[in-house]
Structure formats: C-alpha cells, structure tokens
A and B are shown apart, each in its own frame.
Chain A
C-alpha cells in the first residue's frame, strides 16, 4: 500500500463532512441542507447494497429500488393500522426484503447477463403494480405516514430531524463497514470469483449458486433497511418509490461512483443528487445535460469517480 492512500482519506473526509452537516445547517439556518444530505445518505445505503451484488458479484439488478419500497411499506402499512413500534417495523422491513430477495433471487440467479437484468426488472415491476392496485393504501398516490417509527424513550427520538439524521449516518457507516468486511472475507472472494469465472469456481468445488443467492439476500435486506429510513424521512410512501426509473438511477449512481469499490457508490450518489439539485435549479432541460454528463463519465472514466481518484495515487508495486 502506498503511504498516500487518497481514496481512504477521501472516504474519511466525506464521512466527516456528513457528520458535520447538522451543525452547519443549524448555525447557518439552512434546514434544507439536512434534507438533501439525509436523502443522499439513505440513497447511498441503497447504492452501496446494489454495488455488493453488481460491482462485486456481477449481478446487475434492474429492480433494486423494489427493496426501498418494501422497506417503506413496512412502516406505512403497520402505521396505517396504528402500529408505530420500531421493534415491529424494522424487523419487518428487513425480513420482508430478505424474503423477496430469496424468492426472486432463487429464480433470477438461474439466468445470466441480459436475462438476469430483465427478470429482476420484471419482478420489481410486479411489486410496483401490486402496490398500485391496492386502493386501501392509496394506490397510485401512496399514503402519508402519520408518525415515524417509535423507539423506546431515551434511546433516540426519530421525530427529531437531527436525531434521525444521525441514525441514517450510523446506518450508512455500518453498511459501509459490513460491505468492506464481506468483500474481503472468504465469502466475498467466492462472490468475486463467481463474477470473474463461474465455471472455474464450480470446477474447483464451489456451489456458487448458494453463495450468490446469499449475497443477493444480504443486499436486498440492506436496501430494505434503507427503505425503512426513507419511509421515516419522507413520512410518506408510494409506488413511485420503486418505479423502474428509480432502479435505473441506482445503477447509474453505482457506475458513476465506481463499481467494485466499497465507497464509490456514495460518491456516485452525492454527485448524482447534488447535480440534480443544481442543474434543475437553472434550466428545465437539466435532464438532457445530466444525461450527457453521465454518458461522458461512463465512457471516459473506467472505474467511475473512484477510479479517477485512484489514478492520482502513487502507483503500487
């Protein structure tokens, strides 16, 4: 390792900035900063989880936003019936996402390449239309969530925006650390080996399907957790959260930030959301400029933003 590991410094710097946002927002009286960075961090968790299967496992899921929806509905539906307890909603969000990943993954992971992409999209669309068709929960329009998840008094109060912010921050840091451990573990090497050369993995004795499915479930559960945070943050859930364009955006964030680097997707999300905010501020054609920018990055910077930064590091032996 070179002494000057730029990427490590950048990761630490970014996280430190995230941690300071509530202070800055408070001092300068800019609460919208808190909102933007809340959203950035929550979507980052989703992107980090997608990167685990896509960047490390080669499983390009075009339906990953479904888990954001499942997580949010796991607050919204119990809340609709008057159950606000986090001890119910949180495990529900994670378990429902894991179950959805297990069932759909069991089928999707029998296919490869374009077929895999199409099937993950198809399952996410099924979830989308299922949510739309349930009039009880607002159908197309979704529903307002009356109150955020309730945690026993004295732990945290999610109704406080600043406290919710730090819960999101803690989950992001935890997710990053977990993915870092996973990709360097025996399990992680199996996942990456199966991406590189599945036939060879099987020939040396790995039943890769089981490992890939497990990884798919972990990523789904992690994104479901992000969905739980998103529902709490928005005080709202609707099928629009899991429209296929949302899944497409997640893929873009991962590619933009850098596939196969643990922190890359966070950079991708920051760039994506900040640009979206800035560009949409001064032209209604912002999506056009945005699209062109994304194409340039993908075509010219292999390895995304993280890959670009790695180029500035001293070459390793």
Chain B
C-alpha cells in the first residue's frame, strides 16, 4: 500500500490536567472513508481541530500528502487541500448562502487583494458555488441569508463550504448532528455520493451511517485509538463492544 494521505503519529494534547489526545496514531489512505467513533468527550473534535490547525498539539506529528504540516497555520493547511466541517455549525450568518460558498472558492482562487471589481458579479466564483449548492441540495436557497436557514440546511451549507475549497481530504465533524430523520437520510445519501470522489475522515455518532459509509473505523476512547479496522471487525471486537458499542447494541 502507498503512503497514507494523512499520517498522524503520537499526537498529544492536554487541557490542564485533562489529556484529550493521548499519543494517537492514525492513518487515512487516499480514497477511503475513514470513520472515527467514540463516546462523548473521547477527543474526536479535539483531534479534528489539531488536524485542521485550529489547535496546536503538544507533541506528535501530522503528515499530509507527503509533507509535515504539524507547524502550518489553518489557512495554509486549507490551501494544501485539508477541509474541515464543524460540529457546531460555523457559517457566515450575515452573508447569503451563495456568498458563503463563493467565499470558500475565492479563498482558493489566488490572493484576494483585489479591491475594485465587484466580487458578487464574478462568474468565476458564483458559477462553481451555484453548482456545489445544487449538489448538496441547496440550489433553491442560494439567495437566502445563511443565518435564516433551517438547522438541517445550515448543516448542508457547512459541507458545501468545505467542498468549495476542493479538498483532498474532508474532515467531517458529526455532519448529521441534530438532524431529523428525513434530513439525516438525505445527508447520508449525499455523503455516500461523495464516497470515492473525495477522501473523508468522518466523525459521527449515527452508527447506521458509520457502518454503511465507512471503509475503516477507528474507535477512540480517552484520546486513544482503541481499535482500528473494517466495520465488520469493529462490530465483532470485544473491547469495543464493552467500551462503547455495548449501549448502542441492536443498531
């Protein structure tokens, strides 16, 4: 197997006395959908924040696409093809839906020290943004102010913005968080359609989604990777059942 697209070694992060990431090793190969599951407080969001550059690890290295990115800033990582969607929706609430995605595209279309031409009439930004909105199912909502979207739609926009950066690796933090049945089915189908076109690291509590979508699953407990393997292996793993899946049995 070739070198993984993302290669994390010995990642460690503590908040005061609390060790949120504890010498974590993790590899994601190009093309795969890799799910990370674990109980609340296991350190999944903390892990994504370190991967995307919002948090600095205390120790350990992160290699992405052949380069050491441990010391890079969040924008520099984004420009290299790492995109993160947030567990707590993080969008530009005062901008329209189309503006939100167009900004993500603009970030990757050269520098933005362009002070004169109206950006909202720039087809090079608006057209691809519109196409992405169609894909995630927000095509009809392009001109709505993002803050006025329903919760489920905001979650879709969250993904659309990440896709706007044309990522090599998509870090998804509970894309279905707080979604109702119908919305969450649609999201699941959409993520399924992304499979293969984009490498994904998927943090999700919805076990049904995890076991349908993932090629591999890593189980995290107390900041450590307890187990990693194919969905079927993880289901069968005794330690995992005890530590985590036990209370979710019957899914």
Contact = CB atoms under 8 A, between A and B. Distances in A.
B119 A189 contact: yes
Contacts of B73: 202, 207
B115 A189 contact: no
A196 B94 contact: yes
Interface stretch (A73-81, A148-156, A177-185, A266-274): A177-185
A48 to B, nearest CB: 16
B15 interface: no
A200 B120 CA distance: 20
Interface stretch (B31-39, B98-106, B186-194): B98-106
Contact of B112 (A200, A203, A211): A211
A132 to B, nearest CB: 36
Interface string B164-176: 1100000000000
B78 interface: yes
Interface residues of B, number: 38
Nearest to A317: B143
Contact of A184 (B84, B112, B119, B165): B119
Nearest to B99: A189
Nearest to A180: B118
Contact of A200 (B92, B99, B114, B118): B92
A234 B162 CA distance: 54
B117 A185 contact: yes
A204 B115 contact: no
B74 A202 contact: yes
B20 interface: no
A187 B161 CA distance: 18
Contacts of B161: 200, 204
Interface string B145-188: 00000000000000001101100000000000000000000000
The 9 closest A-B pairs by CB, nearest first: A205-B107, A205-B78, A186-B119, A202-B74, A186-B114, A186-B112, A204-B104, A187-B115, A200-B90
Given A190-B112, A203-B52, 11 more contacts: A186-B106, A186-B122, A197-B92, A197-B93, A200-B91, A201-B107, A203-B75, A204-B78, A205-B78, A208-B75, A214-B113
